[in-house]
Structure 1
């Protein structure tokens, strides 16, 4: 039975008060914790993630595709692949608007991003495809609706803070790259993370959240160092755990989230400090996340070696990995028309499904067949999207068969 949205905050409050007893008896058997390289549910069973990214952090700051299909239809497509998680991205700007009492209704959001004519047109399409929404429905209420449908279909929600300013990600020059960059207000970021952690306590499907997507150098070449990473990421994680003790907390690394070995191995970060997972009260909530887009690679051993050196040694029993925790590949992907048979795609599947101790979790980029707007282009097609342009069917059956096989090998 689908829960009315008005009940979700009440259930969330109960879960916060006593998360084990209130949730352990039913799906998702949360809260989750970690034990070595594995995620465990409240029953002590090993949990793995196999899912897909659903973007909601670009200019409109509303999850994509709703002008073409309903929330239920899109979620059902994801579920039909056997997937059990979505990485739902959001922008801190959405929370800033809430704190600033800025109108974040669907009507305002689409018109601001697409202009009066096109914004009104797309809004009408969204309302036709999703009749439970009105033009006064807020952006955050759309996220609530997705979370409610995820609970109905037993799909975990992993919240990902993708950017601060709502726009396409990522580059060195987009103002979202590093702490203190043009749009990356650190205080607002920490506030936004805590806000979403608290708000999502009302979502039964909510099990984990990230700190920040793809940290990187700024336009002037500053940032991307471990000292600054440590000084900012630790307080942010502390804030999440204070706001909500339930979710797993994903730590991303440097260089577009391709480097975590220094932290995993407990090496000197550059000022005599060493990250020690055990020193944190939420040590059993920490997850390492990495991204990989080595699409042009032609040697599988090279791909496996780079993943291992970037932090996956924590999943392989390497004694050098003093901060052992699950490592998840929260982004990887390829052109759906040509990429599923590549050395890269086949190697990623082989590596993650044959790790010592069991498969590793992953979230493919991306479900989107198209975007409301991307880098100024409206209704922009996404050739990497699992779904076709109008989100009605799979873009390429061969590529989807690859993903189905990957899911099955990961989840059993």
Structure 2
């Protein structure tokens, strides 16, 4: 597949996305721009973008570009900002790796990162690493979408991890809004292709029984999500703002429809807010075995909010939709690339001209749920990040990329 420069980027590499309009994300010239992206995790225990112990930032971004993606969903933890503002300042590579991996393994991984990325030192901070990623994304004409994945840095997501819902054990809503505002302003000043912010990843019920936990309702969702969006917009009025839904971001229908019988007091109109022209819905969809019939599958997804781009009627919120997480085992032997789930979802995304972001740009993690150097079967790369994990699987992804661009006439 050919290497492609990203649609919507001006020659300087500066982001040229302008706004959302009806069902479209558009650039300054009024062109419809698809998000065709991949997730790069950076919100786990180390609070660093994954894979730098195996490859340089330049090489990893090169994979993004050469595969044909035009966007990266880069995840971060609010804890990173809390450390900067409350706990004495940002943390060095040396300290964050030792904190997460222990003295022996942390030192080993540090030396690997420095070998692959000699622009860093042991005292380079975590946010400086994010800055270096952003600079390279711009150099290779890739949009940067920043996603708040968790508050306390860890592998996501469960109902008991304390990151689930507003007021959960680690989900301090004031610090969350502060962290989003801080990163929005920092990105505006330092990240040339910074184009959008995801307010929160996979909101879901919590089983922690935290005393500060807020009611799991759409009214609570509206209260906090709109406040966060307004803070982001005030800090950086240029970026698009992605709204996730409930039930691990599978359900956005009440927000799309503007009301729900399950919460009679809930009423939501995007047009009421100053960021209405920057609004985008996001939805996650993994293989839940919904149906092997694509017609039935699409109908069910539509009932949970995948009708966001076609919805009409009084009180509805028609807007762009990006499937910001989806994916499957990337090994050819799994056959997942040719499953009913993959076939139906990819066909649906192309037909409806959704944006999308694959999970995941990885081969392994520094640490996942306590396991160091943990393998990632959903990663498009092998464990050592050296090549594609599956031949047929990546061919299917490249075909989807081509089909998505073609659907936009690009």
Flag whether TM exceeds 0.5 (same fold).
yes
1:247, distance to aligned residue in structure 2 (A): 0.3
1:35 has 2:35 as partner: no
1:314, distance to aligned residue in structure 2 (A): 2.0
Aligned to 1:114: 101
Aligned to 2:263: 270
1:75 has 2:67 as partner: no
Q: Write the distance in 2 (CA, Å) between the matches of 1:366 and 1:25.
A: 28
1:349, distance to aligned residue in structure 2 (A): 0.9
Q: Is the 8 A contact 1:224 1:255 kept in 2?
A: no
Aligned to 2:72: 86
Aligned to 2:131: 144
Matching of residues 158-173 of structure 1 within 5 Å: 158-173=145-160
1:387 has 2:408 as partner: no
1:209 has 2:197 as partner: yes
Q: Which of 350, 353, 376 pairs up with 1:353?
A: 350
1:258 has 2:262 as partner: no
1:341 has 2:338 as partner: yes
Q: Show structure 2 runs of 5+ residues with no match.
A: 1-8
1:161-218 Cα offsets, whole Å, 9 max, x none, are 0000000000000000011111111111000000000000121110001110000111
Q: Which piece of structure 1 moves more, 40-49 or 107-116?
A: 40-49
State how many pairs are aligned. 387
Q: Write the distance in 1 (CA, Å) between the matches of 2:245 and 2:377.
A: 27
1:247-301 Cα offsets, whole Å, 9 max, x none, are 0000000000011111111114725341111111110100000001125343323
Q: Which of 388, 401, 404 pairs up with 1:407?
A: 401
TM-score, normalised to structure 2, is: 0.91
Q: Is the 8 A contact 1:29 1:42 kept in 2?
A: no
Matching of residues 4-403 of structure 1 within 5 Å: 26-100=12-86, 101-201=88-188, 202-220=190-208, 223-268=215-260, 270-297=263-290, 298-319=292-313, 322-337=316-331, 338=334, 339-355=336-352, 359-403=353-397
Q: Is the 8 A contact 1:33 1:41 kept in 2?
A: yes
Q: Is the 8 A contact 2:168 2:208 kept in 1?
A: no
1:362 alignment partner, SS class: strand
1:400 alignment partner, SS class: helix
1:74-96 Cα offsets, whole Å, 9 max, x none, are 00011111100000000000000
Q: Write the distance in 2 (CA, Å) between the matches of 1:370 and 1:224.
A: 34
- In structure 2, the CA distance between the partners of 1:316 and 1:271, relative to structure 1 (3 Å rule), is closer
1:103, distance to aligned residue in structure 2 (A): 4.8
Q: Is the 8 A contact 1:292 1:332 kept in 2?
A: yes
Q: Write the distance in 2 (CA, Å) between the matches of 1:376 and 1:267.
A: 41
1:31, distance to aligned residue in structure 2 (A): 4.1
1:318, distance to aligned residue in structure 2 (A): 4.3
- In structure 2, the CA distance between the partners of 1:25 and 1:387, relative to structure 1 (3 Å rule), is closer
1:28, distance to aligned residue in structure 2 (A): 4.6
1:404, distance to aligned residue in structure 2 (A): 0.4
Q: Write the distance in 2 (CA, Å) between the matches of 1:102 and 1:29.
A: 29
1:231, distance to aligned residue in structure 2 (A): 1.2
1:20-66 Cα offsets, whole Å, 9 max, x none, are xxx97754552420110001111111111111000000000000000
Q: Write the distance in 2 (CA, Å) between the matches of 1:63 and 1:368.
A: 10
Q: Write the distance in 1 (CA, Å) between the matches of 2:122 and 2:314.
A: 54
Q: Is the 8 A contact 1:266 1:276 kept in 2?
A: yes
Q: Which piece of structure 1 moves more, 298-307 or 205-214?
A: 298-307
Q: Show structure 1 runs of 5+ residues with no match.
A: 1-22
1:124, distance to aligned residue in structure 2 (A): 0.3
Q: Write the distance in 2 (CA, Å) between the matches of 1:401 and 1:52.
A: 15
**Root mean square deviation of aligned Cα:** 1.6
- In structure 2, the CA distance between the partners of 1:46 and 1:103, relative to structure 1 (3 Å rule), is closer
Q: Write the distance in 2 (CA, Å) between the matches of 1:275 and 1:321.
A: 8
